[in-house]
């Protein structure tokens, strides 16, 4: 089994700690190790370091090398720029099929998620590898613990074998009442963004659902091998699509493995606050602090912080900026990032 870690994002929702020059996946968000280091090390009991790959953008290659010193440098697959998950997977597929047999199971996962129960996670990978060997596109569905509106959902159908169900539909991020109805029905799972398939099955899926991406990936790989310098121009012709929409929503041979191992995509400061250790009043301080008549605050700063009469806030320190907002508004951080792109403060990104 081989694993591909996708690590090309900029982590806009984690501004100001996450910036273009040092994105979220390279930050020690949960403990002393960066998120990509934790993701990499979580795989090692099952997959050898030389069989773990990272696909990332050209401007982040030096960070991957710095954070994953035990991984061979040739295991870094380089995108000229971030173009969404379908292009990066097409490029990675062509690279990997030159190094492995076509029936090799391939795990795909993001660099910046959290999993509490590593043993259950590894057990689910073994099941996925076996099922993928049957020519199926496997996705991992998270058993929902609340009616989340920030995740896409997978509607599952018939159980094909213990722990494996057919996929009926992929659902976009729902409104609250729709999410509540999903939980009542009991056959809806959060879309984790983790997948497993063989190289051959993924290639067939691209050939059927998004042939232009596969064709461009093959041309890019040839251009790199011959050194003709055209790979950047070719890559910018890729369709900017997520793999969910490009392939998983269209394919017929797809299944879901429902899992429940304390997963989070750590997609916002509020999500991180929910995972952090807290005092008896629900306050969390990264570097120590004191709270007077204050509760349910998340403080991610490099200094001891004192709070007075504060409730439900995120207080975040970046290298050159601070963010202060109610926890429930942390999904709007990306709007600040978008405004900064159009302002005279682009250097803060």
Question: How confident is residue 79, by pLDDT bands cut at 50, 70 and 90?
Answer: very high
Tell me the CA distances in angstroms from 205 to 111, 210, 244, one per residue in order: 24, 8, 12
Mean pLDDT of the chain: 94
Report pTM: 0.92
Whether 62 has a pLDDT exceeding 90, the answer reads: yes
pLDDT surpasses 90 at 330: no
Task: Write down the H helix ranges in 44-133.
Answer: 61-67, 85-96, 118-132
Residue 265 pLDDT more than 90? no
Where residue 267 falls among pLDDT bands split at 50, 70, 90?
A: confident
* pLDDT at 149 exceeding the cut of 90: no
Q: Residue 28's CB: how many other CB atoms inside 10 A?
A: 12
pLDDT at 183 over 90: yes
Give every CB contact of residue 112 below 8 A, 6+ residues apart in sequence.
7, 9, 11, 24, 25, 29, 35, 36, 39, 265, 266
150, pLDDT greater than 90: no
Task: For each of the domains in the chain, give its residue range(s) and CATH number, in order of start.
Answer: 2-264 (3.90.550.10), 269-348 (no CATH)
The Cα–Cα gap between 40 and 3 comes to: 9
pLDDT for position 266: 86
> Of 186, 223, 183, 217, which is closest to residue 203 (Cα–Cα)?
217
What is the four-CA torsion angle of 156, 157, 160, 165, rounded to 10 degrees? Answer: 0
pLDDT value for 59:
93
Q: What is the pLDDT of residues 6-56, one digit of tens each?
A: 998 887 888 998 888 889 999 988 888 999 999 999 999 999 999 999 999
pLDDT above 90: residue 282: yes
CA-nearest of 107, 109, 96 to 5 is 109
pLDDT for res 40: 98
Whether the pLDDT of residue 208 is over 90: the answer is yes
pLDDT at site 31: 81
d(CA 140, CA 239): 25
Distance CA 138, CA 300 (A): 36
Calculate mean pLDDT across residues 223-239.
92
For 200-221, b/e burial (b = at least 16 CB within 10 A) is bbbbbbbeebbeebbebbbbbb
The per-residue pLDDT for 114 is 93
Cis peptide before 16 (omega within 30 of 0): yes
Residue 21: per-residue pLDDT: 86
Beta bridge mates, 247:
none
| Mean per-residue pLDDT, 119-147 | 96
What is the reported pLDDT for 11?
79
Q: What is the pLDDT of residue 48?
A: 97
Percentage of the chain exceeding pLDDT 90: 81
Instruction: Give the model's confidence band at 333: pLDDT under 50 very low, under 70 low, under 90 confident, else very high.
Output: very high
């Amino acid at each position: 089994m081989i694993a591909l870690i996708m690590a090309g994002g900029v982590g806009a929702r984690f501004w100001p700690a996450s910036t273009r020059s040092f994105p979220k996946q390279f930050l020690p968000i949960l403990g002393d190790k960066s998120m990509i280091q934790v993701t990499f090390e979580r795989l090692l009991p099952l997959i050898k370091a030389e069989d773990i790959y990272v696909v990332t953008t050209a401007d982040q290659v030096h960070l991957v090398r710095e954070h994953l010193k035990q991984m061979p440098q040739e295991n870094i697959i380089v995108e000229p720029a971030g173009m969404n998950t379908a292009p990066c997977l097409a490029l990675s597929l062509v690279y990997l099929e030159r190094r492995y047999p076509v029936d090799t199971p391939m795990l795909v996962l993001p660099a910046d998620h959290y999993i509490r129960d590593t043993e259950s996670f590894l057990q689910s990978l073994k099941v996925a590898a076996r099922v993928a060997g049957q020519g199926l596109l496997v996705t991992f569905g998270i058993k929902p613990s609340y009616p989340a509106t920030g995740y896409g959902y997978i509607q599952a159908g018939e159980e094909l074998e213990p722990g494996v169900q057919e996929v009926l539909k992929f659902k976009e991020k729902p409104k609250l009442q729709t999410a509540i109805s999903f939980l009542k029905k009991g056959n809806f799972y959060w879309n984790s963004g983790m997948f497993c398939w063989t190289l051959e099955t993924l290639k067939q899926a691209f050939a059927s659902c998004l042939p232009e991406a596969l064709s461009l990936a093959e041309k890019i790989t040839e251009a790199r091998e011959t050194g003709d310098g055209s790979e950047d121009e070719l890559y910018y012709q890729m369709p900017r699509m997520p793999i969910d929409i490009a392939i998983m929503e269209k394919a017929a041979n797809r299944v879901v493995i429902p899992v429940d191992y304390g997963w989070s995509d750590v997609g916002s400061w509020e999500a991180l606050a929910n995972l952090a250790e807290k005092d008896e009043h629900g306050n969390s301080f990264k570097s120590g602090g004191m709270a007077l008549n204050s509760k349910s605050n998340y403080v991610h700063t490099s200094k001891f912080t004192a709070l007075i009469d504060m409730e439900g806030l995120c207080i975040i320190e970046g290298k050159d900026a601070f963010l202060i907002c109610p926890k429930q508004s942390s999904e709007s951080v990306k709007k600040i990032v978008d405004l900064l792109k159009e302002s005279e403060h682009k250097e803060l990104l």
